[in-house]
Amino acid sequence: MDVLLEFWARVSARNSPLPPATVWLTVAAAALLVLVPQAWKLTRHVITIVHEGGHGLVAALSGRRLQGIRLHSDTSGLTVSRGRPRGLGMVLTLLAGYTAPALLGLGAAWLLGRGHDVGLLWALLAALALLLVQIRNWFGLWSVLVTAAIVFGVTWFGTETVQSVFALLVTAFLLLGALRTVVELQRTRRRRGGTASDADQLARLSHLPGLFWVLVFFAVAGACLVGAARLLALA
């Protein structure tokens, strides 16, 4: 019982706010991780994990049968589920991928705004653990385990300041990374003409153009970024 109480005290502890200079430097570091090509090539795997996790979560919640998730070394991914090929469940499942990083970033900002920096890190660990059992390839397993190991290391061994900086870095990275992936999606669609992207699959289901769905993804990402900035008193 004492161990459980101690663990709960860790999870529910409130961190002190970071100095404004530290906050802006952390946000700038997150921007560099998104904007610098060499860094983005590596860190984009985190966005893919969240993207495919979003597909998987909504597929399960909408009554589809989740069969597994694959993550690839080129930062692409694939979530396989069984169910009706059309209908609301399928539409929501397709919508969930590109919106998941932004929505997770907004939720993370809500927790940070209330001082629950450590609670956010433990929540991320729990989500990674749930995702791990759905991974169906070795690279995906490796990606999730490495990500979880980094989050756990900071959560368990980091000082309060390190935990707060890391939690803010992850939050800002998710929000900014969500915008970049939508921009990349449209660039790929324009270069290849028609693709099997989420936007094009939604276009076939809804009879609305793929560009409409790209704009929906971008609007959600932008709204989440603005909302998170307000929650964190950055705007």
- pLDDT tens for 126-176 read 999 999 999 999 999 999 999 999 999 999 999 999 999 999 999 999 999
The model's confidence at residue 11, banded by pLDDT at 50, 70 and 90, is confident
The model's confidence at residue 36, banded by pLDDT at 50, 70 and 90, is very high
Query: Between these two residues, 195 and 211, which has the higher pLDDT value?
Result: 211
Task: Judge whether 11 lies within some domain.
Answer: no
The terminus-to-terminus CA distance of the chain in angstroms comes to: 43
Task: Judge whether 7 lies within some domain.
Answer: no
Task: Judge whether 84 lies within some domain.
Answer: yes
Each residue of 6-28: b (16+ CB within 10 Å) or e? Answer: eeeeeeeeebeebeeeebeebbe
Place of tokens 């998710």: 174
Task: Judge whether 12 lies within some domain.
Answer: no
Residue 109: helix, strand or coil by DSSP?
helix
Q: Which residues contact 100 (CB under 8 A, 6 or more apart)?
A: 50, 51, 53, 54, 55, 57
Mean pLDDT confidence for 204-224? 96
Task: Judge whether 59 lies within some domain.
Answer: yes
Per DSSP, the residues of 184-211 read HHHHHHHHHSS--SHHHHHHHHHSS-HH
Among the listed residues 174, 173, 167, the one whose alpha carbon sits nearest the alpha carbon of residue 115: 167
Q: Looking at the predicted structure, is the pLDDT value of residue 5 above 80?
A: no
Q: What is the pLDDT at residue 12?
A: 73
Task: Judge whether 224 lies within some domain.
Answer: yes
pTM: 0.94
Task: Judge whether 14 lies within some domain.
Answer: no
Tell me which H or E stretch contains 79.
Answer: strand 77-82
Mean pLDDT confidence for 217-229? 98
Q: What is the pLDDT at residue 194?
A: 62
Q: Looking at the predicted structure, is the pLDDT value of residue 3 above 70?
A: no
Q: What is the pLDDT at residue 190?
A: 87
Task: Judge whether 95 lies within some domain.
Answer: yes
Number of domains composing the chain: 1
Structural domain harbouring 92: 19-231
Among the listed residues 230, 111, 224, the one whose alpha carbon sits nearest the alpha carbon of residue 178: 224
Please give the share of the chain, as a percent, with pLDDT higher than 70: 96
Each residue of 75-96: b (16+ CB within 10 Å) or e? Answer: bebebbbeeeeeeebbbebbbb
